[in-house]
Chain A
Amino acid sequence: MATTDNTKHLPGRHDPQHPLDQLFAQAAETEMSEAQLPDVDERWLQLEARLLSAKAGSNPNTATAPDQVKATAEEARTRVLPIWWISIAASLLLVVGLAWFFRQGQQSPEASLAQTEAHKSVPAPDPSSTIKRTNSVDQNNDADSKVSELSDANIQDKQPQPDKLWQSMAKHQPEQPVQKPALQALANVAKPGPSITQQVEDVTSTPNTTPIAQVQSHLKTTEYAAKSDDQLEVTIEIRPTSKRDQMVAQLEPELIDPDAGQAEPDRYKTPVRQGSWFTRLNDIRKGRASLSAPSDSSRPSLIQRLGRQ
């Protein structure tokens, strides 16, 4: 062995001078030269484990070597595992996000518009009827199925279809407001109104609803003849009151007021006023009223008019 020269002290160390020191120094060197380490390979394994642990970065003095190695491996595994999980989760999220993005990008605008149209065309349920409500639910189901059909059709047919687009857009054009007075005028033109004769007949047959004062303006002549003590015969001849009415009468049955756009017969539908001409005539006939001159001096009284005739 190459240990003979290595037993000397390092430079600077003194050799023992005292006899007792020399005695024990020799004894120590002899003991060292004879020393044999038992289980040297087993102890080397322990030292090697400590060296590996120290190389891994852990403190070799805190635990025995195999345990330390095992703990270091476990610690490294627990450190690495969350990183793997996070990376896998991030990759999955990225794939899902890209798939959604491309799906949105491939969906054509007309498909979206058709879907919106189908949803809007679903009729609202009528709350008044249960049957109707059921029907409306069915209609909703039908509408949903229609929507799904449309969606499927649009998904299957990716090519843009301008005609369908235009039709769906045309459906959505806002309705033009109806000119109600014009429509009413058209309806009145198409519908023939009652003649003046008919109107007068209506007036005479239903005195309670006839505007006598207005009828008076149409009277051409009025003849009164006493048939008996309690009966008075009145003969009335109708004449047009104005040139316009004359023309209208000639153009019967079209009685249209072009200025107001209203049919002329509405004028005769006003209720009967009390104290009218018929009332007074009846009162005179029954003796409840005298034939004295009326308070209105501008108008000729009935006696005056009768006397004139």
Chain B
Amino acid sequence: MATAAIHIADLITRLRQGERTAQHELYRLYAGRMLTVCKRYLGNGPEAEDVLLESMMLVFQKIDQYDGTGPLEAWIRRLVVNQALQVLRKRHILYVELGGSDDNSGPQPITEHPSPDSQLSAAELMELVAQLPDGYRTVFNLYAIEGYSHQEIAEQLSIAIGTSKSQLNRARAMLQSWVGQAFYQHKY
């Protein structure tokens, strides 16, 4: 782990010097992961790969702005997510506001049902996320996976905080329903 940290620090130093080999190495290290992030927001289209290329270029250009307070991958991931959100803003996604903004409102917790993680793989679960509507999927990805708050999501997507909460609840309800159905299909 210490060796890995030393390696990342050296890589960052070389990136700041503009070494093409360091850029190539960074690309080989994180391009696959970041493409997964792009597909999570944009689906399996060419837009995801375009956003990946633009994001990596942005990383090379703004590597001096990385202050080292967090993991490098998290910093790169934030840049990739921001680039994906820019594309989503161009799509003019309609965020339908539902009644009630409480996180506890909506469907019942999935804990009442048998845990589906033993039966469903990570890829299958993420396939369920990809089937959510654009608004639900975006807010769920930002809140549950990336750890954004509702205020940050509201600012990023230029929506109200209540809209972000309702979108999250609707996404959870749908995913719970789909996971339950998949659990029962696997079990029975």
The interface-forming segment of A6-14, A190-198, A269-277 is A6-14
Closest to B52 in A: A43
Q: Are B75 and A14 in contact (CB under 8 A)?
A: no
In the bound complex, CA of A43 to CA of B38 (Å): 15
CB-defined contacts of B1 to chain A, threshold 8 Å: 2, 4-5
Once the chains are docked, how many angstroms separate the CA of A23 from the CA of B118? 11
- Residues of A contacting B: mostly: helix
Distance in angstroms between the alpha carbons of A283 and B99 in the assembled complex? 169
By the criterion CB–CB under 8 Å, are A3 and B29 in contact? Answer: yes
CB of A14, distance to nearest CB on chain B (Å):
5
Assuming the contacts A14-B149, A20-B175, asked whether A1 and B29 have C-beta atoms less than 8 A apart, the reply is yes
Which of A25-33, A171-179, A228-236 is found at the contact surface with chain B?
Answer: A25-33
Total chain A interface residues with beta-carbon distance under 8 A: 44
- Indicate if A89 sits at the interface (CB-CB under 8 A): no
| A48 contacts B57, C-beta separation under 8 Å | no
Q: A14-B147, A37-B32, A47-B53 are in contact. Are A6 and B72 (CB under 8 A)?
A: yes
Q: Are B110 and A28 in contact (CB under 8 A)?
A: no
Q: Is the CB of B32 within 8 A of A18?
A: no
In the complex the two chains form, is B125's CB within 8 Å of A47's CB? no
Beta-carbon contacts of B157-188 to A below 8 Å, as 1s and 0s? 00000000000000010011001000000000
Q: In chain A between 166 and 215, which residues have their CB closer than 8 angstroms to a CB of chain B?
A: none
**B4 within 8 Å of A by Cβ?**
yes
**How far is B31's CA from A11's CA once the two chains are assembled, in angstroms?**
23
Given A6-B71, A7-B73, A16-B32 contact (CB < 8 Å): no
Q: Which residue on chain A has the smallest CB distance to residue B73? A: A6
Contact among A2, A8, A28, A31 with B7 in the assembled complex (CB-CB below 8 Å): A2
In the complex, what residues of A have CB within 8 A of residue B115's CB? Answer: 23
In the complex, residue of chain B having the shortest beta-carbon distance to the beta carbon of A38: B32
Determine the chain B residues whose CB is within 8 A of the CB of A18 once the complex forms.
103, 109, 144, 172
On A, residues with C-beta under 8 Å from B are 1-11, 13-16, 18-21, 23-28, 30-37, 40, 43-44, 46-48, 50-51, 54, 60-61
Can you offer 24 A-B residue contacts whose CB atoms are under 8 A? Answer: A2-B3, A2-B8, A3-B73, A5-B1, A8-B70, A8-B71, A11-B69, A13-B148, A18-B103, A19-B111, A20-B110, A21-B143, A21-B172, A23-B117, A24-B145, A25-B145, A26-B117, A27-B125, A28-B126, A35-B33, A44-B27, A47-B56, A48-B20, A48-B24
